[in-house]
């Protein structure tokens, strides 16, 4: 892979960068931080140390390779790198892999292995061990339906889909807070109608309400109906029209997911105006975010691929890191954003490709970590944000009975060393104005 021309790739970002930087600074300060108060039960002089240990905001990636690596050492390293950066893991519920044989569900760890499709219990065990929140993906999709479903009529498929929802809910509704209930129907509805049935997405949303009433139910969409469609249709892009209509009709949608996969060759992101306007135009990015933010629903950048391509070209890896850092700042600064999910953390293990190959989605080199598990600059860039710039640490000495500070929302370890001894407490500062006594 050749070295990409940074100025050409970032042309539509650099011309807007000053305004974007200010927008992001203000948004992060307004929406990701709050004013908090510590109240002391003891008097006298006190040394106060606050160390943020967890984010309220969710930063995630997929757990699709858990139990699937070719070497135990890679599995161990993956878990270490994942848990150091992320607090959300996507759990696979693809129908063709969860139920490859009709009626035989692969819920549990002893299920027959399938590459990139660990049993949900395998991922949940990892989440429990490392204090990571799980997210289910996806209950209804036009692709990856099982072969055995084809023999049934559309009406029979409706009954079978309901059975799928019921069985997953019985096992996981109390274990997984959120699910992508419908995936990519605004961009691929015709295929869904063919493989499932007419109005399958609307029916699935109703099933979501029936079987997952206490879970966050997400309508998730991909590039074609969002970023690409916006280039020609503007606010009339397919996903916006679908969402507007579904909400008008009272469809049960709690949250919305926007995928962001730059599945384009290097020559296109360098030289094709359409590709650059779709994925790397700062003005359009903010306009699209503002449009969906106006619904007032929690939002997710639900799937991310930013390529560095194959060949371990240092300049291209640095460019990937620069784009990742800028977009994470932009998404984090958006008012109703709830999570940001990088799709494939490790190169060589992406979809539609043999392990370690350079075909399928592997050709984009969209991981944060190389195939040998060494960190790429993009991993380091996100780590510097998530575990550095976006975490609050305070050291102070006070003789007052209260101590006020401003910090990022999340969980803190509070340590107070006073005249009567030392106290340590874990405190969640999850909303503006929160206080805690120690």
Kindly report, residue by residue over 126-171, the tens digit of the pLDDT. 999 999 999 999 999 999 999 999 999 999 999 999 999 999 999 9
6-27+57-384: CATH class? alpha beta
32-56+385-438: same fold as 6-27+57-384? no
Task: Tell me the average pLDDT across 171-186.
Answer: 98
Give domain limits for the chain: 6-27+57-384, 32-56+385-438
pTM: 0.97
19: pLDDT strictly greater than 90: yes
Task: Tell me the average pLDDT across 244-253.
Answer: 98
311: pLDDT strictly greater than 90: no
Q: Which among 357, 390, 429 is positioned nearest to 70, based on CA atoms?
A: 357
Helices (H) and strands (E) in the chain, counts: 16, 15
CA distance 7 to 415: 48
CATH code at 32-56+385-438: 2.60.40.10
Determine how many CB atoms are found less than 10 A away from the CB of residue 385. 17
Kindly report, residue by residue over 339-361, the tens digit of the pLDDT. 999 999 999 999 999 999 999 99
According to the model, what pLDDT value does residue 1 have?
82
252: pLDDT strictly greater than 90: yes
Task: Tell me the average pLDDT across 377-406.
Answer: 97
Pairing of the two strands 46-55 and 410-418? antiparallel
Percent of the chain residues past pLDDT 90, beyond the cut: 99
CA distance 28 to 46: 31
Kindly report, residue by residue over 182-231, the tens digit of the pLDDT. 999 999 999 999 999 999 999 999 999 999 999 999 999 999 999 999 99
According to the model, what pLDDT value does residue 117 have?
98
Task: Tell me the average pLDDT across 24-41.
Answer: 98
Q: Where are the alpha helices (DSSP H) in 266-333?
A: 266-271, 273-279, 282-293, 314-332
């Amino acid at each position: 892979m050749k070295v990409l021309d940074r100025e050409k790739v970032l042309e539509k970002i650099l011309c807007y960068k000053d305004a974007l930087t200010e927008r992001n600074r203000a948004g992060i300060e307004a929406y990701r931080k709050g004013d908090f108060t510590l109240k002391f039960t003891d008097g006298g002089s006190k040394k106060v140390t606050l160390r943020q240990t967890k984010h309220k905001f969710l930063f995630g990636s997929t757990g699709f390779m858990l139990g699937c690596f070719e070497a135990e050492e890679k599995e161990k390293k993956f878990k270490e790198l994942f848990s150091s950066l992320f607090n959300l893991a996507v759990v696979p519920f693809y129908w063709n892999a969860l139920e490859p044989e009709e009626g035989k569900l692969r819920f549990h760890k002893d299920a027959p292995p399938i590459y990139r499709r660990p049993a949900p219990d395998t991922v949940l065990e990892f989440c429990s061990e490392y204090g990571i929140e799980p997210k289910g993906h996806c209950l209804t999709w036009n692709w990856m339906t099982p072969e055995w479903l084809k023999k049934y009529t559309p009406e029979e498929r409706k009954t079978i889909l309901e059975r799928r929802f019921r069985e997953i809910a019985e096992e996981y509704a109390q274990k997984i807070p959120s699910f992508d209930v419908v995936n990519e129907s605004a961009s691929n509805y015709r295929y869904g109608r063919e493989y499932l049935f007419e109005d399958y997405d609307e029916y699935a949303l109703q099933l979501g309400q029936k079987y997952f009433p206490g879970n966050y139910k997400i309508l998730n969409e991909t590039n074609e109906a969002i970023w690409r469609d916006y280039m020609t249709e503007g606010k009339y892009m397919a996903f916006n029209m679908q969402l507007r209509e579904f909400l008008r009709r009272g469809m049960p949608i709690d949250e919305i997911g926007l995928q962001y996969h730059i599945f384009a060759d290097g020559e296109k992101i360098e030289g094709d105006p359409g590709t650059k306007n779709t994925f790397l135009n700062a003005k359009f990015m903010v306009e699209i975010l503002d449009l969906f933010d106006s619904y007032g629903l929690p939002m997710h950048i639900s799937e991310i691929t930013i390529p560095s391509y194959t060949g371990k070209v240092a300049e291209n890896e640095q460019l990937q890191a620069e784009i990742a850092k800028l977009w994470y700042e932009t998404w984090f600064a958006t008012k109703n954003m709830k999570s940001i999910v990088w799709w494939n953390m490790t190169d060589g293990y992406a979809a539609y490709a043999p392990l370690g190959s350079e075909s399928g989605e592997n050709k984009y080199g969209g991981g944060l970590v190389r195939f040998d598990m060494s960190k790429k600059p993009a991993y380091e860039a996100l780590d510097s944000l998530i575990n550095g710039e976006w975490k609050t640490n305070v050291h102070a000495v006070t003789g007052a009975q209260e101590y006020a500070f401003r910090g990022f929302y999340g969980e803190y370890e509070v340590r107070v060393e006073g005249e009567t001894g030392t106290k340590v407490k874990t405190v969640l500062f999850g909303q503006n104005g929160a206080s805690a006594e120690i």
